[in-house]
Amino acid sequence: MSYALLWGILTFLAVVPWGGLLIRFLSAHGMGKRIRVDVPGSHQAKMGTPTMGGLLFLIPVALVAIVLHLLQRESLLPLVGTIIVYGMLGAIDDLGGLTRDSNAPLAAQIGILGRHMFLLQLGVAFGIAALLYWGLDVHDVIIPTTAKVLDLGLWYLPIAAFIIVSMVNGVNLTDGLDGLAGGTSLIAFVSYSIIAHGQGQDYLAAFCFVIAGALLAFLWYNVHPAAVFMGGIGSLTLGATLAVVSLLTMQWLLLPVIGLVFVVVALSVVLQVSYFKYTRRRYGEGRRIFKMAPLHHHFEKSGWAEVQITQRFWIVGAVAGMVGIALALW
């Protein structure tokens, strides 16, 4: 574990210094976030804040993952591939949400419809699942609190793809307040690092702490008031990478526990949309369960301060992480 911690510390020290340079670069090139008009009013002040800040931690994480792959001679290629491909999808998503005008370069006006983005995510997820299944011979699941290992056979492919896509969108939906997605992701990766270490997968534990160190560096600039947002390039990649880490540990049944915040936030959106559509068909007008979804915006509408919501979600994430670790190491 000291080896993994050392990687995390070195990554933090390496990433923090160039955060300011990246923010100035993003600002100079008009990479400003466009804010939805229906979000709480306090968010309008964030209009134009540089986005795509996920580059701050994704680039060094990918480079270190390649180094770890070469040093350990253990396959981290699924993780490297996940970072690259989902990072590209997130970048495309971010470029469609910039504050540039219609005279901006074509690349900055790229956008993909939600349903098309979902299909792309699903296709990539199946590709990663296939790589895990045939490339690394990973197709098992550990039953928590027992020593039982269940071989899923080909059922592993759709299940793994579902896990990846679900976590991608869970983290993406959670990225709505300063420091929220970064802090909760940090806790989840540290939790899985401890689990991986307990399994003897020290290379995977080190990788998780590399992400943790990079996220700490990102949070240096992202905590309220945020100087940069991670954007889809960060949130989509974090969600997919966390899912793949859980699949590599074979403790993915604990992902809804360790990633409890992401699951609840995603469910709040699903419930809100489903209930609205149902009541619109039944009563002629849509009704809502929450004041606004995702869930963190509901609490904002209820009068909670942004920092208060973020810190309480961190607390929930930390407790959930401890529960997950306890169940994994039982």
The pTM (predicted TM-score) of the whole model is 0.91
pLDDT of residue 215: 96
Q: For the segment 226-278, what is each residue's pLDDT rounded down to a tens digit?
A: 999 999 999 999 999 999 999 999 999 999 999 999 999 999 999 999 999 99
Measured over the CA atoms of residue 207, residue 209, residue 213 and residue 218, the dihedral's sign is positive
Angle formed by the axes of helices 77-95 and 231-249, nearest 10°? 160
| Pair 105, 140: CB distance under 8 Å | no
Backbone angles phi, psi at 136, to 5 degrees: -110, 0
Backbone angles phi, psi at 111, to 5 degrees: -150, 145
Cα gap 172→247, rounded to integer Å: 19
pLDDT (mean) for 308-329? 97
Classify burial at 102, counting beta carbons within 10 Å of its beta carbon; exposed 0-12, middle 13-18, buried 19 or more.
exposed
Confidence of residue 93 (pLDDT cuts 50, 70, 90): confident
- Contact partners, residue 292, CB within 8 Å, separation at least 6: 38, 39, 40, 298, 300, 301
pLDDT of residue 139: 95
Confidence of residue 94 (pLDDT cuts 50, 70, 90): confident
Residue with tokens 């939600």: 114
Cα gap 252→197, rounded to integer Å: 16
Mean pLDDT, the chain, whole residue set? 88
Q: Residue 282 has which token pair?
A: 């039944």
Q: For the segment 270-304, what is each residue's pLDDT rounded down to a tens digit?
A: 999 999 999 999 998 999 999 999 999 999 999 99
| Pair 297, 40: CB distance under 8 Å | yes
